[in-house]
């Protein structure tokens, strides 16, 4: 059973009582003895002053717009529709319901997933507020218009979060948004080849990782786990040595076992995981260090290279799926595309 203290801390983490670094949101539900306490209303003088500032800001065009003879409204609106970060803070006074959080926790949703849902629902509330509506009153055309300048993967993530919210509201007896989302057009996802570095780069990076790990450098462990174990960068902090490999917790809190080389396993056991200079750090830290010291600006390509190399070595797609921790084999089939006959031109006499 979840304690009140844990629920309070998790609510802060997921829905913004602490400052959301990604979006600049503050506020959110405060829980005392199991009861949600709404933040106090600001004094009337503060509201009036805030209103004057907002009104003066709207009336005064930017310096650059004035120089070029434009209002700048169209540019500002396009930028806000794409990112939703600056204007999104206007909805920070609308905390997410405790019941929605409990519903997600009961469904076994991962902490990171819940945090992402918190961001996306606030994003949708900001869009609804611009139309002087509640989030439940959004129509299918309005939802599609809000997503017009959003990239495909962000589009799918935002719709998925809104659908989860609508299913919870449907259980509460309000099915308006759920029915509207059934009408929303899904974008076409373009199929692309995985960003594989190729067999030669695989060998060079493997040898480089082995050398660094032998010298006691954590960069060798990071590269080894992603290139020779297929770990996501966010999974490194969760993994631990187990038998001849590692156990790792991936998406959806699913645990899997991945075999790794002996030298990599020994390096992990020899070095500290936590503390200063440890290898079990956040994805942001790993990405920053690898970019600065090794010139690796897209660490996820190491995972792509691992999967592609498995296919080249004759492993079945089902085995690759298990090693990568994919829930749906459709996600793994993209790597099957790298298995192209190398002698096509010779056979065709070209």
DSSP letter at 203 equals H
Parse the chain into domains and list their residue ranges.
4-39+79-181, 199-338
Confidence (pLDDT) at 248 = 93
Confidence (pLDDT) at 133 = 94
- pLDDT band for position 337 (cuts 50, 70, 90): low
Widest distance between CA atoms in the chain: 83
**pLDDT, the chain, mean:** 76
Region of residue 314 (phi > 0: left; psi between -120 and 50: alpha; otherwise: beta): left
Query: Which position has the higher pLDDT, 137 or 112?
Result: 137
pLDDT exceeds cutoff 60 at 213: yes
Instruction: Output b/e per residue, 137-148; b: 16+ Cβ within 10 A.
Output: ebeeebbeebbe
What are the CA-CA distances from residue 73 to residues 81, 82, 220 (Å)?
Answer: 12, 14, 49
pLDDT exceeds cutoff 60 at 1: no
pLDDT digits (tens, 9 = 90+) for 6-46: 445 544 544 444 334 344 333 444 444 444 444 444 444 44
Nearest to 9 by CA among 29, 37, 39, 38: 29
Nearest to 303 by CA among 200, 219, 229, 203: 229
Lowest mean pLDDT: which of 93-102, 177-186, 272-281? 93-102
The stretch 217-230 carries a mean pLDDT of 95
Asked whether 274 and 267 are in contact (CB, 8 A), the reply is no
Q: At what angle do helices 262-270 and 199-214 cross, to 10 degrees?
A: 40
DSSP letter at 93 equals T
Asked whether 211 and 203 are in contact (CB, 8 A), the reply is no
Q: What angle do CA 236, 257, 291 make, to 5 degrees?
A: 20
Query: Which position has the higher pLDDT, 54 or 191?
Result: 191
Confidence (pLDDT) at 8 = 53
CATH class for the region spanning 199-338: mainly alpha
Query: Which position has the higher pLDDT, 75 or 154?
Result: 154
pLDDT digits (tens, 9 = 90+) for 293-323: 999 999 999 999 999 999 888 899 899 999 9
Q: What span, in angstroms and rounded, lies between the C-alpha atoms of 323 and 32?
A: 44
- The structure's pTM equals 0.57
pLDDT digits (tens, 9 = 90+) for 127-181: 999 999 999 999 999 999 999 988 888 898 999 999 999 999 998 899 999 999 9
Percent of the chain clearing pLDDT 70 (strictly above):
69
Confidence (pLDDT) at 342 = 66
Lowest mean pLDDT: which of 42-51, 109-118, 228-237? 42-51
Chain-centroid distance, C-alpha 25: 17
Asked whether 95 and 118 are in contact (CB, 8 A), the reply is no
């Amino acid at each position: 059973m979840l304690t009140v203290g844990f629920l309070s801390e998790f609510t802060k983490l997921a829905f913004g009582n602490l400052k959301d670094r990604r979006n600049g949101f503050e506020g959110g539900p405060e829980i005392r003895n199991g009861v949600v306490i709404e933040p106090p209303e600001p004094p009337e003088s503060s509201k009036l002053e805030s209103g004057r500032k907002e009104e003066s800001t709207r009336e005064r065009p930017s310096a650059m717009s004035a120089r070029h003879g434009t209002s700048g409204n169209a540019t500002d609106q396009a930028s806000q529709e794409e990112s939703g970060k600056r204007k999104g803070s206007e909805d920070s006074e609308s905390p997410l319901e405790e019941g929605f959080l409990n519903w997600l926790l009961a469904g076994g949703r991962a902490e990171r997933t819940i945090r992402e849902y918190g961001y996306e629902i606030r994003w949708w509330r900001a869009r609804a507020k611009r139309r002087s509506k509640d989030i439940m009153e959004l129509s299918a055309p309005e939802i599609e218009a809000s997503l017009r300048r959003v990239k495909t993967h962000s589009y799918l993530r935002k719709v998925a979060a809104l659908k989860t919210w609508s299913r919870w509201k449907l259980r509460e007896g309000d099915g308006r948004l759920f029915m509207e989302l059934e009408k929303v057009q899904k974008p076409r996802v373009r199929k692309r080849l995985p960003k594989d570095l190729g067999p030669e780069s695989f060998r060079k990076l493997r040898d480089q990782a082995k050398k660094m790990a032998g010298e006691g450098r954590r960069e060798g462990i990071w590269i080894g786990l992603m290139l020779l174990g297929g770990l996501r960068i966010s999974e490194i902090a969760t993994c631990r040595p187990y038998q001849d490999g590692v156990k790792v917790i991936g998406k959806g809190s699913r645990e899997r076992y991945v075999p790794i080389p002996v030298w990599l396993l020994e390096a992990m056991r020899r070095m500290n995981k936590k503390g200063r200079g440890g290898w079990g750090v956040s994805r942001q830290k790993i990405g920053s260090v690898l970019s600065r010291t090794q010139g690796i600006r897209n660490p996820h390509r190491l995972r792509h290279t691992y999967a592609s190399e498995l296919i080249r070595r004759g492993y079945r797609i089902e085995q690759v799926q298990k090693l990568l921790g994919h829930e749906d084999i459709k996600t793994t089939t993209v790597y099957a595309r790298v298995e192209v006959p190398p002698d096509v031109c010779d056979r065709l006499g070209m």
